[in-house]
């Protein structure tokens, strides 16, 4: 156990120490009570912490990067300045569900508002879902969304050479596959400045609704070996109250990369569950937001324009 925890401690220690408020006591208690499950009631705990999209942020919704109804993305920008880093968020949902944004809900506009208020352009994308569309459809879509963002970056004040991709849950698995398999990076039109990978799966066994159940193909589609080889800067996080598989996968990939001499940034989200770590973005609890922002600034060579 000590051998496992040491790389985690060293990776976290390597990040800047930034102030972080705690979750409200009642919210923290409710998360602990939920336990190691993906509880849909988590979002209700954060509704009051998010106030919607401010009037000074320009939102361009449902821009099509393909012909399928799910091949759409949103851009968020302040409308001022140029050459900004771009944060692309890839949602989760077990490869079979999920949405970049549903009207009336704060997620995942909270991530976009946070990005803009910290000097970035925000983008969030949908992708085709299993079982209707199996591998490599969703990965083709993430690559295509990066390509679209790259081609239109300057229209929204962004720098096409400063794209950071963040995926959560199944979205994290998609981002891991993308940066570890050169064919998807080629399809995206180039490389990316960095990848943030939160509570995903990296080594696949058994039956997967998107990747299938053929052991040889699952091994080929795993991101582990490719993540050891990539030169793209990586930042991982997983939650204290994540599901057990996500906890094991997060600790495994951190240890594997550290053993390979490529320790990534890693944040263990104390007091959080699978979803709350993302819902905390844009609140006063910055346990993930602070090191994530420091990572983005480092890999894009920029400073925050936060307000």
What's the confidence (pLDDT) of residue 21?
Answer: 73
Mean of pLDDT values over 136-150: 98
In the numeric block, the tokens 């490389």 are attached to: 191
CA atoms within 13 A on the CB side of 123: 31
Between CA 281 and CA 272 the distance in angstroms is 12
Alpha carbon dihedral 246, 183, 221, 207, in 10-degree steps, equals 90
Taking residues 287-300, what's their average pLDDT?
Answer: 97
Mean pLDDT of the residues in the chain: 92
Q: pLDDT at residue 36 above 80?
A: yes
pLDDT band for position 136 (cuts 50, 70, 90): very high
**Does residue 35 carry a pLDDT above 60?**
yes
Q: What is the pLDDT of residues 246-282, one digit of tens each?
A: 999 999 999 999 999 999 999 999 999 999 999 999 9
Cα 225 off chain centre by: 20
Q: How far apart are CA 112 and CA 295, in angstroms?
A: 17
Q: Burial letters for 6-31: b for 16+ Cβ neighbours within 10 Å, e otherwise?
A: ebbeebbeebeeeebeebbeebbebb
3-state class (DSSP) for residue 294: helix
Q: 72 vs 17, which has greater pLDDT?
A: 72
pTM of the model: 0.92
In the chain, where the domains are located: 2-300
**CA-CA-CA-CA torsion sign (58, 295, 197, 179):** positive
Alpha-carbon distances, residue 60 vs 65, 78, 143, 295, 306 (angstroms): 13, 11, 20, 26, 21
Q: What would the two tokens of residue 265 be?
A: 């940034």
Quote the pLDDT of residue 304.
Answer: 53
Rounded CA-CA distance 166/289 in Å is 12
Task: List pLDDT tens digits, range 46-73.
Answer: 999 999 999 999 999 999 999 999 999 9
Is residue 12 predicted with pLDDT exceeding 80?
A: no
More confidently predicted of 305 and 245: 245
How far is the C-alpha of 72 from the C-alpha of 52, rounded, in Å? 21
CATH superfamily of 2-300: Alpha/Beta hydrolase fold, catalytic domain (3.40.50.1820)
* pLDDT at position 303: 75
Q: What is the DSSP letter of 155?
A: G
Find the mean pLDDT for residues 92-99. Answer: 97
Share of the chain above pLDDT 90, in %: 90
Which two three-digit tokens encode residue 135? 């591998």
């Amino acid at each position: 156990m000590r051998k496992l925890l040491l790389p985690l401690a060293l990776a976290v220690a390597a990040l800047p120490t930034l102030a972080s408020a705690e979750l409200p006591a009642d919210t923290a208690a409710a998360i602990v009570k939920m336990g190691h499950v993906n509880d849909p009631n988590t979002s209700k705990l954060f509704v009051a912490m998010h106030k919607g999209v401010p009037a000074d942020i320009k939102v361009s919704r449902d821009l099509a990067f393909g012909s399928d109804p799910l091949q759409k993305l949103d851009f968020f920008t302040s409308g001022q300045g140029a050459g900004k880093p771009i944060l692309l968020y890839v949602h989760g949902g077990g490869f079979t569900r999920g949405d970049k944004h549903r009207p009336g809900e704060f997620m995942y506009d909270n991530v976009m508002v946070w990005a803009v208020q910290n000097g970035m352009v925000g983008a969030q994308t949908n992708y085709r879902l299993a079982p209707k569309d199996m591998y490599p459809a969703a990965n083709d879509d993430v690559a295509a969304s990066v390509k679209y963002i790259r081609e239109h970056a300057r229209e929204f004040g962004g720098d096409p050479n400063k794209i950071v991709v963040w995926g959560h849950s199944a979205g994290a698995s998609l981002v891991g596959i993308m940066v570890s398999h050169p064919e998807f990076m080629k399809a995206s039109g180039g490389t990316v400045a960095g990848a943030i990978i939160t509570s995903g799966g990296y080594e696949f066994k058994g039956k997967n609704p998107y990747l299938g159940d053929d052991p040889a193909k699952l091994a080929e589609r795993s991101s582990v070996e490719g993540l050891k080889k990539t030169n793209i800067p990586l930042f991982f996080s997983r939650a204290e109250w994540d599901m057990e598989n996500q906890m094991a996968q997060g600790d495994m990939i951190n240890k594997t990369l550290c053993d390979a001499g490529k320790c990534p940034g890693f944040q263990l989200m104390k007091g959080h569950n699978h979803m709350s770590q993302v819902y905390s973005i844009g609140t006063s609890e910055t346990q993930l937001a602070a090191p994530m922002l420091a990572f983005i600034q480092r890999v894009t060579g920029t400073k925050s324009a936060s307000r």
